[in-house]
Structure 1
Amino acid sequence: MRLSFLEALYKENGPFASVYLDTSRDSAVNDPEAAIELRWRHLRDTLTSEGADQDSLTAAAKAVGSDVDVPGPHGQAVFTAHGRLALLDELPDPPARDTAHFGTLPDTLPLIVQHSPGIPYVVAHVHYSGRHSTDATGTVRLDAEVGVWPLTKVTPGHRLHEEIPVTDWLNAAARTGRALEGHARRIHAEAVVVAGDVWARGILVRRLPTPLRGQVITVEGAGESQPRRALLEHRLESLFSGRMAAHDRSLLAAFLAQRAHDGASAEGVAAAVSALQRGRVKALFLNHHPESPLRLWVGPEPGQLALTEQELRSYGIEDVREQRADAVLTRALVGTKAELVLVPVNQLRLHEGVGVLLRYAEPGPVV
């Protein structure tokens, strides 16, 4: 996964207030706005106890709950620094628990997890209103969306809508297929999901350009969706659950190939830190452990990280601090334009939960 969406955040100077909270409004709670406000008060108390300044708390308070037009279960990630809103992002799912942290580095890994797997896709639902395929009075309604899963759940993608007389559907399906191919090519779509009336969708699939036809996945289900929610959201949830994006799979395959040949790869925290210090990491692989107690030492720059305080000071760095390892590693990845791949433990258990694919090999082991 490319982390370019975090670059603007890391251009800010800390300390940062990092807030994750459930801002869903369609739950069984009688007064969801009051519930959101109550949760925010608890988080504000946490930030205050950790030394957050009043201006940063005020900036966060203005952002919390501002997503009133987003329906369904979701959450918010809010980052402020020195009284300014540094980043505001919608979470496709409510956080497992509301959290807040104030410190030198922003707590961005939970946000990255919510962006994963980041699968670009095209989905189309075709509805035929006629009684049978020879009913010349019927119409074909096409709804389509171009998006990236799971972000499309809270940030709708490009939508297409057409109402076509059934007598024109054969020609219109070919024209629509070419339009869908253009959108798919633009986002490098990995899947083309098609649902709806069997007869009408069959014509659309057969008239898709050949490159797109090989990516088609046919699913059952209605095409209705809430405003500002993904088209065929529940079907896509089942389809993409546990799946990695093709780009991440290719990086993982390269890592495994290099590991098998003792090539440009390494595992373990020490190896990752060493490679990031030298800007050699192409991709870092992480078994996500939300409660990991591991901590590292950092200086002001992304490449200034180490296992011990003494190591950083030996480089002449005076401003050093101990921080959570995931926050340190993420900042280093963004600063060196490396990528992050979240790997389920049941798919591949990495030594100390960390692996690195290097930009190039060097003689001798990475330590």
Structure 2
Amino acid sequence: MDGSGLFCSLKASYPDFKLDVSFSIEEGELVCIIGPSGCGKSTTLQLITGLIQIDEGSVLLNGTDITQAAVNQREIAMVFQDYALFPHMSVEQNISYPMKLRKIKKMERREKTAALLNLVALSAYQKRKPQELSGGERQRVALARALASQPKLLLLDEPLSALDAKLRKHLRDEIRRIHDETGVTTLYVTHDQEEAMAIADRIIVMSEGKIEQMGSGEEIYRNPSSLFVATFMGEGNLLPYGVLAKCMPEYKVSGEETTDQDESSQLLFFRPENVLVQDDESLPLPAFLPHLAFSDAIVGNCEFSGTHYRLSCLWEGHTIKVNTQRKPRGTHVRLGIINADIKVFMQGKNVGNLSTKVGE
């Protein structure tokens, strides 16, 4: 980094939890932190703001060490899950409040409040009280109020978690638009994988107080560094390495012998959308590259999702999930997966795709 943006090295210990993370965010980036409940997402935000003191480490914002700075001196704004709006104040009063604390003149406050109301598309709501607004409208007021303090860093702690799915999708697009218009460096905590991949420049995946992987949404989804990341960031299939003997009887693994112990510590992982389906016994699988073939799989469940069919197939005692555009005509199908789309995990770590492992 050139000094702009955020750099964090955070260590904190609690009776039943330890957090140890280090990461940086470039100025103007929108980065999402995602992980299961209790992994340390919200704790990380509170350590950055100073609401919780770190045991060891530092927080640098645009080159300035704010580790020991008071909460109100860090030039950080935070939007909480419940928005925390003042119920006795109107929308415009809520938004202008941070500027009033900074003793900005009344005329300037009005101009900036009007600009923020326009930014969040609430210009016609300035006189309403929070209780007169919908959940999505309150969320946008909270965002405008946070931006009113002209922060160098904006923190969002699961701001859409209380909203229904359709409204969440609309508002995540609005948050991204507002971010792009303001350019404020943003750290966004969510539990929703789709939300993170849709909105973020980069994603931090956390587990048990540590960072498992950081990268673009596509990188994390297509090339997960660990089995935890692979299974957390979307659906997938896990099969024991030993199935290769049934799918590829002549396989060799990089020219070396493999043992039962090697195979028990290794797993094959692939996404449902990468599985090929053939329901006509007279035709071959539509695959022209080296692949695994699962013959005589039984379709146990078939659901239509609106954009594709979700199949749950049983093969040799293993369940294989499949996303396909066409509903199978029968209950018995052949499945195929190109080797390059299969990740191999050894003791939970990504060691490459199957193409490299079988020496293609």
Could you say which TM-score interval applies, normalised by the shorter chain? under 0.3
Greater fraction strand: 2
Decide which structure has the larger Cα Rg and report it: 2
- So what's the TM-score if we normalise by structure 1? 0.25
